[in-house]
Structure 1
Amino acid sequence: MEAVLEQVEQLPALLAVSRSALVRDWDSLTLDRALEWTRYFQHLHNRFRTRPRLREALGRRLRRGQPGPLLSFPQLGRCPQLLGLALLENRALPPAACHRLLHSLLQPAAAEVGPEPRSLVLLARRKAASRLLALPRGLPRPLEGMEPQLQAEAQLLLSRLREEGQEVEPAGEAAERLRWLSGVLEQLPQPRAFEVVAAALLLLRRGSAAEQAGGRGRDGSSLDGNQASAAGEECVAGPLLSWLLGSLERFSAFCLCLPGSLLASLAGHYSQLSRPYLDLLTVWGCHLLYDPLQGRWVKSCLDKAQLSWEELRERFSCLCQGSALLRGQTQAALKLLKAQDGDFKVRGLSVWTDVLMEVEESLRKEAEC
C-alpha cells in the first residue's frame, strides 16, 4: 500500500509539469505515458471509492506539500480530464504531442469506455468554464437581470458542486468539498466571486420554487420528489453558505458588494444568512452619529462606518419587503435595538428609532396603496 501512496503523491507534480514550459520536450511517447498514469490514478479511484479509510489515506497523501489549490480523492477519478485540460491550455506543447492528445481524447482507450463515456463532454465543459471564469471583469453589476455570462458561470459552478456531491461517500467529505470550492473561488477577483456565488444561490432558489410550483400532483404523489429536491439543494447550497459564513471579513465584503434587494431575497430563502446579515447591519449602524448642524446621520469614522444612513435605511427596508417571516424578524430586531438604545420616540436621538420609524412609515404607505 505504501508503494501506491508514493505513486499517488506524484500526481500534483505531474499536473504541475503539464502546466509548465517543460512540456516543450514531450513527444508522443511521453504523452502516452502521462495519460497512462492518469488512467492508473482513475483506476485507483474506482477501486477505493467505497473504502473510507483508504480514501482518507489517499486524500492525505495527495494534499502533502501542495502549494496551490489542494487536490482531493475525487480528483483521482478525473485525472485524464485534468491532465488533458492543462495540456490544451499550454501553448508549449509540441504539435505532434498535441495531435496525439486530441486523438486520445476523441478515441479514448477501451478501459475508459463504459456505460457513461463522459470524458470529452466534461473536458469541453471545463474548457468553457476556464474561459468564462478567466474573462476580465469591471465593477460588479446588479443581479436582477442576471447577465447571460454570469448565469453561465453560476450554472457551471452548481453543476460541478453536484458532481462533487455525488462523488462524496455517505461518511461525508464536506471539508474536502469546501476546500475545493475555496480554491476555485479564490482564483476569481473578489467582487466577481461574490456575484457568482449569489447568482448560484439565486438559481437554486428559483429552481426549487419552480419545482415546488409545478411538481405537485392532485394526489400529492410528488411529495417524496420535492423532499429529495430539497435535500439535493441543501447539499449544493451548504458549501456555498459555509464558504460565505466561514469568514466575517468575507461575509462583510459580500454584503457590501451586492445590492440590498438581492441580499434580502437570499436572506428570505436561506435562513442561515438572515441573522448574520442583521448582525452585520447592526454593527454598521452603530458607527453612525447624528449631526445636528446637517440634521442627518453621518459616518462617525470613515474607516469603520461601511454604510451611509441612506444605504442602511434602504437595506432594512428591503428586508421588511421580503417574506412575512423575514419582515417579522427584522422588525423584532429593530424594536429590540431601539429599546436597548433608550426607547426614544423622537428622531435624531437613536439611529434605531429613526430606522424603525422610516421602515414602519414605508410599510404603512405600501398598505394604503
Structure 2
Amino acid sequence: MEDIWKNVESTLELLAVSQTKFVSEWDARTVDRALQWAQYCEHIYTRFHTNSVIRKALEKCLRDTNERLRITFEGYRDMPFSDTAQCRHILLITLLKNPATPNSVIKLLFKRHFEANGDTGQDDQNADVASLVRIRSACQVLGTAKFSRNVPGSLEFGAQVHGKMLRQRLDSLLSYPDNDVLARNLLDFVLQHSGGLDNVSYVIAGAVLSKNDISGGNVTEDLIVDWLRDHNDLLLNMCQSLPAGLLAELSERCTKFRLAYLEILKEWASHLEYDIIKELWQQPRDGGVSFKTLVNRFRSLLASSASVKADTEKELVDMKEADGGFEVMGLSVWTDLHQHSLKDLTQSQKGTSLT
C-alpha cells in the first residue's frame, strides 16, 4: 500500500504545480502523463472509497500532503478525498483557468479530444475533456463576439448556442456529487474569458433558459443564481443591460433569479429622489436606473406568467404600504411605480386587444 500513498501524493503535487506559472514549461507529453496520474487517482477512489480502513488511511495521507503543499504553494486549495473521484475534471479546469498554460497545449487538447472526426467511442471522462476544451474555445470566440441589445425579449442565436454549451457542461458536472466547486470554477473561467460583462450576461441568460434534459429539477439554475449573487457586478449588469422582456423570461424560468432581480429593482427604486420643480423622480448621478426604466421593468414582469405577476404585484403593494400607503403621486416612489406600471400595462393591453 505504500506505493499507493506515494502515487497519490505525487498526483497532488502535480495538480498543485498545474496551478502555477511553471505549467508554461509543460508540453503535450507532460499533459498526457498528468491526465494518466489523475485517472489513476480516480481509479483509487473507485476501488477503495467503500473500504473504511483504506479510506481512512488515504484521507490521512491527503491531509498530510495538503498541509505540506499549503506551505509550499501560496493559494493552494486542499484536495479532499471526495475530489479524487474527479481528478481529471480538476486538472482540466485548472489548466483552462491558468493563463500560463501554453496555447500549443490548449490547441493540442482541442485537436485530440474535440476534433475527433465524429468518433463516438470515447469514454465519458474523455467526453468531459472534450466539452471543457469546447468551452475554452467558445470563450475565445466570445472574447471578440458582441451580442446585440436590439432583440427585445429574446436571445441572439450566438448567445443561445454558447449558453446551451455552458449549460450542458454545468449539467454534466452537477450530475456528480460534490461538484459545486468545479461548476463555480467553470463559471469563473467563463467570466474571465468571455469579452466583458455584457457578453457574459447574455451567455448566462442563455444557460439559464436552455432546456434541461437531465433530471434534477432546478439544480443548475439555482447554482448559477447563487454564483451570480457572489458576483454582484455581473448580476447588476444583467439586470441593467438585458432587455426587460428577457429578464421577465428569466424570472419566469427561475424563481431564485426572480427574487434576486426584484431585490435589485427595489434597491434602484430606493435611491430615486423626487424633483419638486420638475415633478419627476431623478436617478442618482453615481449609477442606478431611471424611473422610466423601472416602470418598464416592472411592467414586463406584470405582463409575464401568473406566478411572476403575483410576486411582482405583491412586492409593489408591500413596498407601497411600507412607505406610507400614499395614493397621491409624488410622495412615495412606490406609489408612483405601482400606479404607472399598472396604468401602462392596462394601456398596453387595451392597445393589443384593438389590433
TM-score scaled by length of structure 2? 0.73
Larger CA deviation: 278-287 vs 242-251: 242-251
List aligned pairs for 1:96-107, cutoff 5 A: none
The residue aligned with 1:133 is 139
Cα distance in 2 for partners of 1:32, 1:286 equals: 58
SS of residue paired to 1:348: coil
Which of 152, 169, 176 aligns to 2:161? It is 152
Cα distance in 2 for partners of 1:173, 1:18 equals: 27
1:9–1:68 Cα change, 3 Å: closer
The residue aligned with 1:174 is 180
List aligned pairs for 1:334-345, cutoff 5 A: 334-345=316-327
The residue aligned with 2:313 is 331
How far the C-alpha of 1:201 sits from its partner, in A, is 0.4
1:12–1:80 Cα change, 3 Å: closer
Deviations 1:243-298 (A, max 9, x none): 01235444323312322221121112211122332222122112212223323221
The residue aligned with 2:289 is 307
1:256 aligns with 2:229: no
Deviations 1:181-225 (A, max 9, x none): 33443443222222211111011xxx26xx8xxxxxxxxxxxxxx
> What amino acid is aligned across from residue 155 of structure 1 in structure 2?
K
How much is the aligned-residue C-alpha RMSD, in angstroms? 4.2
Which of 285, 295, 305 aligns to 2:279? It is 295
Which of 11, 16, 37 aligns to 2:15? It is 11
1:244–1:341 Cα change, 3 Å: same
Assess if the C-alpha contact under 8 Å between 1:267 and 1:273 holds in 2: yes
How far the C-alpha of 1:12 sits from its partner, in A, is 3.9
Cα distance in 2 for partners of 1:123, 1:282 equals: 42
> What amino acid is aligned across from residue 43 of structure 1 in structure 2?
Y
The residue aligned with 2:199 is 192
> What amino acid is aligned across from residue 329 of structure 2 in structure 1?
R
Assess if the C-alpha contact under 8 Å between 2:251 and 2:258 holds in 1: yes
Assess if the C-alpha contact under 8 Å between 1:9 and 1:61 holds in 2: no
Cα distance in 1 for partners of 2:249, 2:279 equals: 32
Assess if the C-alpha contact under 8 Å between 2:301 and 2:312 holds in 1: yes
1:284 aligns with 2:272: no
> What amino acid is aligned across from residue 238 of structure 1 in structure 2?
D
1:161–1:92 Cα change, 3 Å: closer
The residue aligned with 1:46 is 43
Assess if the C-alpha contact under 8 Å between 2:244 and 2:300 holds in 1: yes
Unaligned runs of 5+ in 2: none
1:363–1:91 Cα change, 3 Å: closer
How far the C-alpha of 1:240 sits from its partner, in A, is 0.9
Cα distance in 1 for partners of 2:158, 2:244 equals: 22
How far the C-alpha of 1:80 sits from its partner, in A, is 8.9
How far the C-alpha of 1:32 sits from its partner, in A, is 4.4
> What amino acid is aligned across from residue 185 of structure 1 in structure 2?
L
Identity %: 21
SS of residue paired to 2:260: helix
Cα distance in 1 for partners of 2:258, 2:139 equals: 29
> What amino acid is aligned across from residue 14 of structure 2 in structure 1?
Q
List aligned pairs for 1:102-121, cutoff 5 A: 116-117=122-123
How far the C-alpha of 1:179 sits from its partner, in A, is 3.9
How far the C-alpha of 1:121 sits from its partner, in A, is 5.5
1:296–1:45 Cα change, 3 Å: same
The count of residues paired between Structure 1 and Structure 2 equals 322
Deviations 1:143-164 (A, max 9, x none): 6442232222212211211221
SS of residue paired to 1:293: coil
Deviations 1:11-68 (A, max 9, x none): 3425757852x35xx6xxxx54652342132121133047286589769949954759
> What amino acid is aligned across from residue 42 of structure 2 in structure 1?
H
Larger CA deviation: 7-16 vs 39-48: 7-16
1:201 aligns with 2:205: no
SS of residue paired to 1:48: helix
SS of residue paired to 2:218: helix
The residue aligned with 2:339 is 357
SS of residue paired to 1:136: coil
Assess if the C-alpha contact under 8 Å between 1:344 and 1:353 holds in 2: yes
Cα distance in 2 for partners of 1:182, 1:83 equals: 11
How far the C-alpha of 1:239 sits from its partner, in A, is 1.9
Cα distance in 2 for partners of 1:102, 1:318 equals: 42
> What amino acid is aligned across from residue 291 of structure 1 in structure 2?
D
Cα distance in 2 for partners of 1:103, 1:322 equals: 45
